[in-house]
Amino acid sequence: MTSAFLYAAARTPFGRFNGALAGVRPDDLAATALSGVLAKTPALDPAVIGDVVWGNANGAGEDNRNVGRMAVLLAGLPTSVPATTVNRLCGSSLDAALIASRAVESGDADVVVAGGVESMTRAPWVLPKPSRAFPAGNVEAVSTTLGWRLVNERMPAEWTISLGECNEQLATEFAISRERQDEFAARSHELAAAAWDAGFYDDLVVAVPGVDLSRDESIRVGTTADKLAGLKPAFRADGSITAGNASPLNDGASALVIGSETAAVGVDPLARIAGRGTSALDPQRFGFAPVEAANRALARAGISWSDVGAVELNEAFAVQSLACVDAWKVDPEVVNAKGGAIAIGHPLGASGARVIGTLAHRLRESGERWGVAAICIGVGQGLAIVLENTTLPENSTTNREVAS
């Protein structure tokens, strides 16, 4: 089997719920990210793309009917380029990258584009279809933006609690204080703003046509733990989770070019996809699922946490992020050093490819060899990927050698 490599990454700025991207359809956002990542590989003939694998969590509105294929058509790619849409909720575009890498490794395709999109603003309300025509009673419209909807009554009640209550339970289980959560959230905003100011995201983010948005819209400059401490708990009267230490609702898209070592891409690869991991546990403990996913990915890459120089963990909630970092016993300073989803945003289907692209660019910037990207997924799942930096000088074998 050949190895799979990451050649390019791009994403749109992430907009706030009802913000600057509210007027943009999700299929148009997807096409923007797809066009943006292919612009980074101008020598690549789009006709040789073996598949496009696209992540999307909601898929109940304008992103229905295989939004990956819609992105291909709207981006002006040849109609011969196939595409599929995958749904692993928050992990959808990371899952798309894993699927793409397997296709390359198996020889099914030489180049695959992976990515994802979500417009949480434009997620529609839905009505349950009646079991027979013309029911006499009223029917309730259900929002598809986030969380469980139209729940099967056979599901145990403890599985179907709100995402916030799930994480309140994690806070209790691991004794993670409100203070730690607020400090983590404030750090996310501080680092994201600093990364934008330093130009880190300039090469990763592509503009959305017709929209005046040059940066991620949810970043709040000047956020401090003291300011966050003044917010009221959102899920329990005596709880620790607030709107400030959880990720917001967002709109955006992201994309990756993945190919073999000999793919006619025209640029050198950023990273080798060295390991993959999936995991699952009780649905209410979903926030802790990245722990085992990352451990499995590391084992398949043949390395340990002591080799890892950079981690990108999607910050669904500060508490679940802290629980994962504590369990890995990794240096917290290498986690989300350019900010995380609490500041940048979490458009569900786009977040997995975002953390992969950010990780690859962090490795290139720092000279570290190994990095891990991981994400938690509602209903009790986690995904992770290990990247090996391929931009290192020859004969560099460890993070410490590169740093010295």
Q: Which residues does the annotation mark as catalytic?
A: 90, 346, 376
The answer to whether residues 8 and 41 touch, using CB atoms and an 8 Å cutoff, is yes
The answer to whether residues 370 and 388 touch, using CB atoms and an 8 Å cutoff, is yes
Q: How far apart are CA 244 and CA 182, in angstroms?
A: 7
Q: Is 246 helix (H, G, I), strand (E, B) or coil?
A: strand
Give the other-Cβ count within 10 Å of 250's Cβ. 27
Selection from 175, 105, 166, 123 nearest residue 349 by Cα: 123
Query: Burial letters for 6-33: b for 16+ Cβ neighbours within 10 Å, e otherwise?
Result: bbbbbbbbbbbbebbbeebbbbbbbbbb
Torsion of CA 1, 312, 376, 164, to 10 degrees: -170
From first CA to last CA, the distance across the chain in angstroms is 34
Tokens representing residue 81 in the block: 């380029």
Give CA separation, 324 vs 126, 313, 314, in Å. 35, 9, 11
Residues facing residue 382 across a β-bridge: 279, 376
Contacts of residue 136, defined as CB under 8 A and 6 or more positions apart, other chains included, come to none
Contacts of residue 331, defined as CB under 8 A and 6 or more positions apart, other chains included, come to none
Show the CA angle centred on residue 242, arms to residues 238 and 176, nearest 5°.
Answer: 65
Q: Is 373 helix (H, G, I), strand (E, B) or coil?
A: strand
Q: Is 37 helix (H, G, I), strand (E, B) or coil?
A: helix
HSE value, Cβ hemisphere, 13 Å, CA-based, for 130: 9
Contacts of residue 342, defined as CB under 8 A and 6 or more positions apart, other chains included, come to 184, 185, 188, 189, 245, 246, 247, 248, 315, 318
Q: Is 194 helix (H, G, I), strand (E, B) or coil?
A: helix
